[in-house]
Chains A and B, each alone.
Chain A
Amino acid sequence: MISRTARTITRLLAITLLCAPSLAQQAPDGNAHPATQEVTQNADQIVNPFGEPVVTDMSIEQKTAFADAVDLTPLSESTVFHNGRVKIMSTLARETVSRITGKTKYFDLIIEQNPDGSTKSIKKVRYDPMFTLMDIMIDPIYYLDRPLVGINYLPLRSAILDLYEQDPANQGVSFNREGWLKTGMVSPRMANRYATPAFNKYSDSEPFRTAVGRLDQATRLFTNSVGNLELIAPANRSDPWKHLGALPADAPARVAATQLADAWRKGDAAGANSAITALAQALAEINPQTQQAASPGLEALYNKVNAFEWGLWIYLFSLVALILAFGTGRKSLATIGVVLLFVALAFHGFGFTLRSIIAERFAIQNQFESMTGLSFFAAIVGTALMLWKKQWLFGAAAAGTGFLILITATTTGIPGEHIEREAAILNTSVLLKYHVTTVLTSYGLITLGFIVSLFYLGTYYGAKFFGSQAATAGGPSLASGALGHLDSDDTGKPMGLQRTLKDLDTATMTILQLAFWTLGVGILLGAWWADHSWGRWWAFDPKETWALVTWIVYLIVIHVRFTGLKNRGLTTAWLSVGGFIVMLWTYFGVNLLLPGLHAYA
């Protein structure tokens, strides 16, 4: 008995040492997104299939000409395992370039000078991400002093450039500080030399530390991006992919890689193109069944179509057309706006569906996806309301919602744009689809309501500022156009300012009631899921708290109308604007600024 107990105690002691990593956790394991792995294998762990870098002395003009002549298309659909999933090379290239430069494409400046040394012209040259990825792997030395590494935190950028200027080693070197500052970039050599002294100087500042951390990641990715070439597909799904450098030196793919590197460094585009084709073919022949399971064709289509970007611009045109229809009462403009709305919806839906297929999940599991999903659901609901109520004002709100949210998602560096594996707790839940979809729909509806409220406030204050005739830019007939039937203004009733405002108020309330219901149900579904997964239906997590506060705002919107207000419509419109701001805080502020269990939201 004693020996058994002693064994148990010994085991427990051993476990004590092993359980250390788990002690710090607050949220359960599986509750957070898997950490993004910038580099799969570090340079010291691999054989570089392109050989060691050499100085190529290629000028920027030669590099540009070479980039134009090289055709990387065959390699762009080769599959690669990176960051927990199989993707295609062009996706890896987009992600790598975006993470290093902070932009979708690397650009360089060709500066032409006058004989007196002044600048004659500056030409901005953009490079395809596939070319940039291959180039930083094969010819990294070319980039050492080029503006490659993006820093979006101005104080860090300034500090690094200051240190460069102050460094005695750079005395006498021509240096255009303002020019560098404007590019938003520093060179890898600058980052390497001056990031640490800059950090030491400002380490008390949290944003500074964060920016240095990001810079460090970007620099590491630049140095080790060749470590991400896990291109050798295994035979089984349970086995790991291997690095290109792990193949024997005489394997066709390795031979092609060597030839590619040689031709690349010589600037021999024809030789490089031939080697690219050979490398792509050699890779494709290695366990093709495993590669095809990742649907590389669909991913290439997703990358090529840029459905969300196209969608947002078409939404914008639709919105403009419908606003002009609102102001002018022209049926043709309304028709154009509605048609554009359907086209934008088609693009948006196409992108959303394709992403869901590639990611192998319902794509609403991170901030970027929730935004694209939210705007999609909102646009659908707005369009449905437009068709049901036969009032294209709802269409304008749908287009506005689609445009605003998609442009925010695609241009502001919202986390989650790249398709990655998501939190295990999300993937194993059926309630996810109902809870998140319902809440996102409510957020979308709140946005719709906000836009309709802006119409209300614009109309109301326009009338107050410019007089009632100008409020709807044309009096009764235009008010009819604003909220009239899609087919025609067949009511024959005069529609003045008050009628317009009343209709806008009714439209606002129609949307806000729906938002109130869906948000309430979404919160309760979340509580059900939390009880199921976390063992507590309500934990006063900031996300929960603020979802409730948002709901309370709309509870107030609904009840305040019973209190005998003088101008119910105006109060409702302003409360809708306030509710929208609260929703924005709940949606973005809580995620980005407050710690909590909804780390993935």
Chain B
Amino acid sequence: MSKKWQRNKAWEDANLVGAFTPVRIVLRIFSSIPTAIVLLLFVSLYATLASIPVGMIARIPTLLIESALFLVLLAVPILPALYLTRKALIEKPPAMRFIVMFFITIALGGAMTVFWRVGIWPSLKYHTSDGSGFMLFSDFVEKYKSTTIRRLPMLEMTETQFYAWWPMRLALVLFVINLITATIRRIEFSFKNLGVLSVHTGIVTIALGSIFYQRFKLEGDTLLPAGQNGLPGPAQRAFYDRQDVALYVAQARTPNAQPQFEQRPLNDLPLYNAYGLEAGIPEGATTLSQILNREVLDTDEGRTLDQRVPEGAGTLVDPDIKLRVVGFAPYAELDDEWVESPAPVGAPANPYRKIDLYFTRSATPDAIPDTDPIFMFPFFLGEPANRIRFNDLMAIEYMRGMDDQRWADLQTDFRSGFTHGLIIEVPETGERLAIPVNPGTRLPLGTSGWSLEVEQLSPEPPFPIITPGYENATSSVAVIKLSKPATGDTPAKSFSRYVYHRFPELNQDLTPSPSGRPVRSDPDPSIRISYIDATKLQIYLDEHRNESGEESVRAIVRQPTGEVRSVSSLSDGWLLDLIPNAQRDRLDLHIAERWANAKRISRPVPVPFKDRDKSIVGSYNKALVGIEVSLPATATRDAWSQVYWIPFAQYAIIQTEQRTKVTLPDGRNLMLAFGRYQRPLPGFELSLVDFEMIAYDHRGAPRDYQSVVRVMPNMFYAGPMPKFDPFEHVVKLNNPLRAPYHWDPEKSWLTNSITRLRAGMDPNQFKLSQSGWDRSGWMQSQQLVDQGLLDKPRANFTILGIGNNPGIHIIALGSIFMSIGIPWAFYFKPYLVKREKSRLAAMHASGKPKEATT
């Protein structure tokens, strides 16, 4: 206890009494070292909770029990053995006793460790795969194995936010007060105490610097596109915030027809947990997922969300359009969902039909299966792509109102054993042929003069179908070369016909042209061809109105071997015994539910936890936000609202595929995007002049990346403009760019130093570090270089991390105080004290009077 502390305590005891007693108590508390220790323990505990998942913390009791068990196992043989050995060797020299006891300890310890490892640990060790072994709270541990407390729904904080939360702030404020009070009241302000004083001063300085730093800190990144033909890339005047996100809303368009986005910050958006995943699904509506028993991971646990999206000043969006956040999925895929809905007015309905497939072993003939279906297939009759379901063995096509000609073609009976068949009609001669074909088949067609050659029989179209309405649809295709010699006035014909098994309406002819590029046209009507693909079990179902005017479903079943049978009406909804076989194993089909109209909506489907990339948990990279767009009721219309799930875009302005277009009932359009908040670069702009990836020898892994960046004043910036001349800087790993102020070699060292110190306090001074690059572009261009097609590899963009560092020099000053103060306190002060003692001892020995020293 220092004399200063004794003096202060004595003074307080004498003077701070009565009404001042609380002051004395407070002073004592804040002068106390135990207070500091308690606060430091609190900080450590807080850090533990912030960084370690609660599931991992819950394992501590198990670990303690296991450790205790191991120690007991060691102690049980070792302690008695040592006791007995000592007793037996009590008369022997101590050295000998020690050696014997030492080796006994080692031997028994080793033996027990092996016993533990081989005999006990394998049955004690917990395995999550089968639940064997010992683990207290195993379900809790498993459920929260990667959930830190700050991620729980009631908190939803990043690490930075959690450490900036009031309990931590309060603890740090109390600690700083404690530190200052204890320093002033306990430590003598003397030369020898400079060490501890500077350490304490350093900590306080760092704390003050951190407050300033946190107040103005901004960080994010910016993507700089490369230029063409040796020119710098387009200038970037903004950067994307690291954490803050916004809803991008555009109603107006720019002069070049691009959406004119405005940002609406989503400050209270959750980060880790799901909310309102069912938003957008009408209440009480039956969904297709429910009908098909498709499991959608329920991660919101009933939590909902309802946040207003604030409108910015000067918004260009009509004021009657309201936006709310009604759902959030932190890690999900956007998927289609279907709900039953009234048919839209003025648009064709999209009926839905479910077909169930049953399998029964050794079934009784004609018996209706009483088991659950093995597959359930949804069909949406208004969408060609959703009228067909298939796998490698079978295909089902469900149509409504199939034309009679196609129905007749599909029923055509070829001889058995074929896999591909063509039905050919030549109207001119009235000929109709049904012939099995293979690739390469060539034959003349009767007396018509036509001849054909099968060029290709493909299970998929050679090119994706892009006809509107048929997107994502697929069909097997026969490419038939047709030719006919000239007769009389009729010129010779020769072209290739693409014949679709599923969509005859898409058939087309490709006629060679002198340019070498074939000309597409509708099929020549002088010859009609249908293609039957019998490579797998084909089932064709058609809803139609029969001769008596009743709605019914008719069916055709074609075996892979070519045999065909048809049923004119599935009156009971069953199509039995699709593949007759000797074992009487039955595959049956049942026509199940039907909706008059199905409406497609989007919904988030959470990715199972085990499939999530842990490195992006805590970012919005895979997040979806549910936005309700609404219009109030007016005299001319009802109130309207619709929920849209918007995927996150890292660079919202350029990732156009992540945008969602909203068409309001009155025809107005709105564009929505969800992405990181964009902030302007204060008065300067950046453009990429050049980029290079420097690899280890022999094209090994990247060793460094360097972006040559040009910094220019931004004349369009509305705020105060910094004064600087344009310059270029090579940004490399560990060699950031400082802008707008930078170290100018043309200026003196002193001027540069002062500028830099001043910039260190300026929130508008940024540092830009190499952060990302266009790996695939670089690799692809490297291949072109190897082929001699390019001079050098290139990247299409670079990404620079950007952040300001306001007050970093204050923090640095505090760090210097600490770094110097510690050795002073530990090593220099004892030297001073020792020297002082020696001096006093010498004085004492020489008989001189003792001087006050401290």
Say whether A associates with B: yes
**Whole-angstrom distance between the Cβ of A409 and the nearest chain B Cβ:** 19
Q: In the complex, what residues of A have CB within 8 A of residue B52's CB?
A: 594
Find out whether the CB atom of A428 lies under 8 angstroms from the CB atom of B219: no
Whether a CB of chain B sits under 8 angstroms from the CB of A517 is: yes
Closest partner residue, chain B, to A209 (CB atom):
B610
Q: In the complex, what residues of A have CB within 8 A of residue B699's CB?
A: 238-240
Q: In the complex the two chains form, what is the Cα distance from A14 to B40 in whole Å?
A: 52
**Whole-angstrom distance between the Cβ of B736 and the nearest chain A Cβ:** 7
> 1/0 per position for B215-243, CB-CB distance to A under 8 A?
00101000101001000001000000000
Contact of B702 among A34, A204, A535, A549 (CB under 8 A): A34
Contact of A535 among B93, B127, B619, B736 (CB under 8 A): B736
Find out whether the CB atom of A84 lies under 8 angstroms from the CB atom of B700: yes
Q: In the complex the two chains form, what is the Cα distance from A531 to B812 in whole Å?
A: 11
Whether a CB of chain A sits under 8 angstroms from the CB of B98 is: yes
Q: In the complex, what residues of B have CB within 8 A of residue A559's CB?
A: 33, 36-37
Find out whether the CB atom of A155 lies under 8 angstroms from the CB atom of B98: no
Q: In the complex, what residues of B have CB within 8 A of residue A470's CB?
A: 86, 94, 97
Contact of A24 among B93, B210, B225, B616 (CB under 8 A): B616
Whether a CB of chain A sits under 8 angstroms from the CB of B796 is: yes
Whether a CB of chain B sits under 8 angstroms from the CB of A25 is: yes
Whether a CB of chain A sits under 8 angstroms from the CB of B553 is: no
A478-B225 CB under 8 A given contacts A86-B698, A535-B802, A552-B43 = no
Contact of A205 among B127, B159, B811 (CB under 8 A): B127
Mark the stretch among A170-178, A275-283, A536-544 that contacts chain B.
Answer: A536-544
Q: In the complex, what residues of B have CB within 8 A of residue A327's CB?
A: 95, 98-99, 102
Q: In the complex, what residues of A have CB within 8 A of residue B613's CB?
A: 24
Whether a CB of chain B sits under 8 angstroms from the CB of A55 is: no
Find out whether the CB atom of B696 lies under 8 angstroms from the CB atom of A84: yes
Whether a CB of chain A sits under 8 angstroms from the CB of B751 is: no
**Whole-angstrom distance between the Cβ of A125 and the nearest chain B Cβ:** 23
A26-B774 CB under 8 A given contacts A155-B129, A531-B805 = no
**Whole-angstrom distance between the Cβ of B800 and the nearest chain A Cβ:** 9
Q: In the complex, what residues of B have CB within 8 A of residue A384's CB?
A: none
> 1/0 per position for A183-204, CB-CB distance to B under 8 A?
0000000000000000000111
Q: In the complex the two chains form, what is the Cα distance from A237 to B694 in whole Å?
A: 12
Q: In the complex, what residues of B have CB within 8 A of residue A323's CB?
A: 102
Whether a CB of chain A sits under 8 angstroms from the CB of B803 is: yes
A466-B95 CB under 8 A given contacts A15-B796, A202-B130, A424-B733 = no
Q: In the complex, what residues of A have CB within 8 A of residue B700's CB?
A: 34, 84-85, 421
> 1/0 per position for B83-114, CB-CB distance to A under 8 A?
10010000001110111011000000000000
Whether a CB of chain B sits under 8 angstroms from the CB of A593 is: yes
Find out whether the CB atom of B651 lies under 8 angstroms from the CB atom of A26: no
Which B806-833 residues have C-beta < 8 A from chain A? 808, 811-812, 815, 818-819, 822-823, 826
Q: In the complex the two chains form, what is the Cα distance from A28 to B86 in whole Å?
A: 62
Find out whether the CB atom of A15 lies under 8 angstroms from the CB atom of B797: yes
Which B687-711 residues have C-beta < 8 A from chain A? 696-705
Q: In the complex, what residues of A have CB within 8 A of residue B614's CB?
A: 595
Find out whether the CB atom of A330 lies under 8 angstroms from the CB atom of B95: yes
Whether a CB of chain B sits under 8 angstroms from the CB of A213 is: no
Mark the stretch among B342-350, B570-578, B763-771, B835-843 that contacts chain A.
Answer: B763-771
Contact of A25 among B122, B656, B772 (CB under 8 A): B772
Q: In the complex the two chains form, what is the Cα distance from A517 to B95 in whole Å?
A: 38
Find out whether the CB atom of A22 lies under 8 angstroms from the CB atom of B734: no
Find out whether the CB atom of B735 lies under 8 angstroms from the CB atom of A545: no
Whether a CB of chain B sits under 8 angstroms from the CB of A207 is: yes
Mark the stretch among A1-9, A57-65, A257-265 that contacts chain B.
Answer: A1-9
**Whole-angstrom distance between the Cβ of A598 and the nearest chain B Cβ:** 12
Whether a CB of chain A sits under 8 angstroms from the CB of B657 is: yes
A548-B47 CB under 8 A given contacts A22-B775, A30-B702 = yes
Contact of A537 among B619, B655, B811 (CB under 8 A): B811
Contact of B654 among A15, A469, A513 (CB under 8 A): A15
A21-B775 CB under 8 A given contacts A545-B51, A559-B36 = yes
Whether a CB of chain B sits under 8 angstroms from the CB of A18 is: yes
Closest partner residue, chain A, to B214 (CB atom):
A538
Q: In the complex, what residues of B have CB within 8 A of residue A301's CB?
A: none
Find out whether the CB atom of B774 lies under 8 angstroms from the CB atom of A546: no
Find out whether the CB atom of A537 lies under 8 angstroms from the CB atom of B705: no
Find out whether the CB atom of B128 lies under 8 angstroms from the CB atom of A205: yes
Q: In the complex the two chains form, what is the Cα distance from A81 to B174 in whole Å?
A: 59
Q: In the complex the two chains form, what is the Cα distance from A53 to B808 in whole Å?
A: 64
Find out whether the CB atom of B223 lies under 8 angstroms from the CB atom of A30: no
Whether a CB of chain A sits under 8 angstroms from the CB of B458 is: no
Identify the interface centre among A206, A473, A539, A559: most chain B CB within 10 Å of its CB: A473
**Whole-angstrom distance between the Cβ of A268 and the nearest chain B Cβ:** 35
Q: In the complex, what residues of B have CB within 8 A of residue A22's CB?
A: 772-775, 799
**Whole-angstrom distance between the Cβ of A181 and the nearest chain B Cβ:** 10
Whether a CB of chain B sits under 8 angstroms from the CB of A532 is: yes
Q: In the complex, what residues of B have CB within 8 A of residue A11's CB?
A: 225, 228, 234, 796
Closest partner residue, chain B, to A14 (CB atom):
B796
> 1/0 per position for A130-167, CB-CB distance to B under 8 A?
00000000000000000000000011000100000000
Q: In the complex the two chains form, what is the Cα distance from A25 to B803 in whole Å?
A: 17
Find out whether the CB atom of A5 lies under 8 angstroms from the CB atom of B616: no
Find out whether the CB atom of B98 lies under 8 angstroms from the CB atom of A240: no
Whether a CB of chain A sits under 8 angstroms from the CB of B256 is: yes
Find out whether the CB atom of B654 lies under 8 angstroms from the CB atom of A206: no
Which B599-637 residues have C-beta < 8 A from chain A? 610, 613-617, 619, 621
Find out whether the CB atom of A16 lies under 8 angstroms from the CB atom of B655: yes
Q: In the complex the two chains form, what is the Cα distance from A474 to B33 in whole Å?
A: 40
Closest partner residue, chain A, to B220 (CB atom):
A535
Q: In the complex, what residues of B have CB within 8 A of residue A14's CB?
A: 796
Whether a CB of chain B sits under 8 angstroms from the CB of A425 is: yes
Find out whether the CB atom of A534 lies under 8 angstroms from the CB atom of B801: yes
Q: In the complex the two chains form, what is the Cα distance from A154 to B123 in whole Å?
A: 11
Q: In the complex the two chains form, what is the Cα distance from A431 to B732 in whole Å?
A: 15
Q: In the complex the two chains form, what is the Cα distance from A5 to B125 in whole Å?
A: 64
Closest partner residue, chain B, to A37 (CB atom):
B701
Q: In the complex the two chains form, what is the Cα distance from A24 to B40 in whole Å?
A: 36
Contact of B610 among A28, A203, A240, A475 (CB under 8 A): A203
Q: In the complex, what residues of B have CB within 8 A of residue A535's CB?
A: 219, 736, 767-769, 801-803, 805
Find out whether the CB atom of A539 lies under 8 angstroms from the CB atom of B255: no
Whether a CB of chain B sits under 8 angstroms from the CB of A328 is: yes
Find out whether the CB atom of A563 lies under 8 angstroms from the CB atom of B33: yes
Closest partner residue, chain B, to A599 (CB atom):
B615
Which A568-601 residues have C-beta < 8 A from chain B? 590, 593-595
Whether a CB of chain A sits under 8 angstroms from the CB of B48 is: yes
Q: In the complex the two chains form, what is the Cα distance from A540 to B165 in whole Å?
A: 13
Whether a CB of chain B sits under 8 angstroms from the CB of A357 is: no
Q: In the complex, what residues of B have CB within 8 A of residue A595's CB?
A: 614-615, 617
21 A-B pairs with C-beta separation under 8 A: A15-B654, A19-B650, A28-B772, A29-B771, A86-B698, A155-B127, A207-B128, A238-B699, A240-B698, A431-B734, A474-B94, A513-B826, A527-B815, A528-B812, A528-B815, A537-B805, A539-B159, A540-B50, A549-B48, A556-B41, A559-B36
Interface of B with A (CB < 8 Å)?
Answer: 33-34, 36-37, 40-41, 43-44, 47-48, 50-52, 56, 79, 82-83, 86, 93-95, 97-99, 101-102, 122, 125, 127-130, 132, 159-160, 162-163, 210, 213, 217, 219, 223, 225, 228, 234, 255-256, 258, 610, 613-617, 619, 621, 650-651, 654-657, 696-705, 732-736, 767-777, 796-797, 799, 801-803, 805, 808, 811-812, 815, 818-819, 822-823, 826
Interface of A with B (CB < 8 Å)?
Answer: 2, 5-6, 8-9, 11-16, 18-19, 21-26, 28-30, 34, 81, 84-86, 154-155, 159, 202-209, 234, 237-241, 323-324, 327-330, 421, 424-425, 427-431, 465-466, 469-470, 473-475, 478, 513-514, 516-517, 520-521, 524, 527-528, 531-542, 545-546, 548-549, 552-553, 555-556, 559-560, 562-563, 590, 593-595
Apart from A28-B733, A155-B129, A465-B79, list 8 A-B contacts with CB within 8 A: A12-B654, A18-B797, A29-B799, A30-B702, A154-B127, A428-B735, A532-B736, A536-B805
